[in-house]
């Protein structure tokens, strides 16, 4: 698997780089960004945090806006930010140009419906292809954590709950906690997965958490802004919190007063999340 370097910048003693590669999963060229801390300069394997971004985002939003590099450099933690969907000529997009379906809105599932199925295989890309690619080309260890924001929070939670053996911890900012019962999730799942709602449930974190055995429960941190415009209609964190309480799952759910859905919110608390994950490496 070959990768092409697009850009490289030194930051806090480490290096931030953007790469592209031809993906077997999505059948198109994919882009990702990776931050390697200074500890990796001598090929010392370092732990890796997967960051999954939200609707309309790409690999660039988190890397440019979150302010994560200083703490990541201190801790010796690598961070990878993949794109949020396949892109390029011939890749299906919403014909009406909606922001919540198609390009920038992959929802981290494997689509089974036309015209999405050919390229929108984001679950396989995040869980299988990208890890193999990173482990081939970068000095990273087998220690992995996963985090995300909004649609990416949905992705981080659902992927972690479906693959608890792969990650040491999971966290999210403003995650879509019950996609089977919110407009964003219903629209995307109907398009990508079809009308069989049993298939939708395979990617609903408020349901997936109930399938975990006690020994599979990962350390979990969620931050939610109280002034998030999407809180009531789209995010529904109470569904996940209630499910966790029923299971005695030790979820750390924090409501941050006055914060919204933006990267100002993420930048304010990203240090907490990085230190949280590092504790479990």
Per the annotation, the verdict on 150 as an active-site residue is: yes
Count CA atoms within 13 Å of residue 192 on its CB side: 30
CA distances from 196 to 167, 186, 272 (A): 29, 11, 39
For the chain, the C-alpha Rg in angstroms (whole number) is: 18
* Distance from C-alpha of 35 to C-alpha of 16, rounded to nearest angstrom: 4
Catalytic residue among 16, 206, 228, 273: 228
Catalytic residue among 149, 154, 261, 277: 261
> Which among 137, 199, 101 has a CA at the least distance from the CA of 4?
137
Per the annotation, the verdict on 261 as an active-site residue is: yes
Per the annotation, the verdict on 204 as an active-site residue is: no
Catalytic residue among 53, 58, 85, 150: 150
* Distance from C-alpha of 280 to C-alpha of 176, rounded to nearest angstrom: 24
Q: Are 179 and 189 in contact (CB under 8 A)?
A: yes
Q: Are 115 and 72 in contact (CB under 8 A)?
A: no
In this structure, are strands 140-149 and 46-52 parallel, antiparallel, or unpaired?
Answer: parallel
- Catalytic positions: 150, 228, 261
């Amino acid at each position: 698997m070959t990768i092409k370097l697009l850009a490289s910048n030194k930051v806090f003693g480490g290096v931030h780089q953007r790469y592209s590669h031809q993906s077997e999963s999505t059948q198109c060229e994919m882009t990702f960004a990776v931050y390697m801390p200074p500890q990796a300069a001598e090929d010392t394997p370092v732990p890796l945090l997967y960051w999954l971004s939200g609707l309309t985002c790409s690999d660039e939003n988190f890397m440019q806006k979150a302010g994560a590099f200083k703490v990541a450099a201190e801790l010796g933690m690598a961070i990878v930010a993949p794109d949020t969907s396949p892109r390029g000529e011939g890749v299906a997009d919403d014909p009406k140009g909606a922001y919540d379906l198609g390009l920038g809105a992959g929802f981290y599932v494997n689509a089974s419906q036309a015209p999405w199925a050919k390229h929108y295989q984001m679950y396989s890309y995040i869980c299988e292809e990208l890890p193999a690619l990173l482990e081939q080309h970068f000095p990273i260890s087998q220690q992995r954590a996963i985090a995300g924001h909004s649609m990416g929070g949905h992705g981080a939670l659902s992927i972690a709950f479906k693959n608890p053996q792969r990650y040491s911890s999971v966290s999210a900012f403003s995650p879509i906690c019950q996609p089977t019962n919110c407009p964003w999730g219903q629209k995307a799942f109907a398009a990508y997965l079809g009308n069989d709602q049993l298939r939708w449930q395979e990617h609903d974190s408020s349901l997936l958490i109930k399938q975990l055995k006690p020994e599979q429960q990962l350390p979990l941190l969620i931050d939610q802004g109280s002034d998030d415009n999407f809180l009531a209609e789209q995010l529904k964190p109470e569904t996940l919190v209630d499910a966790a309480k029923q299971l005695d799952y030790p979820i750390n759910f924090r409501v941050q007063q006055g914060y919204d859905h933006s990267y100002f919110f993420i930048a304010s608390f990203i240090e907490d999340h990085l230190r949280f994950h590092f504790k479990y490496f």
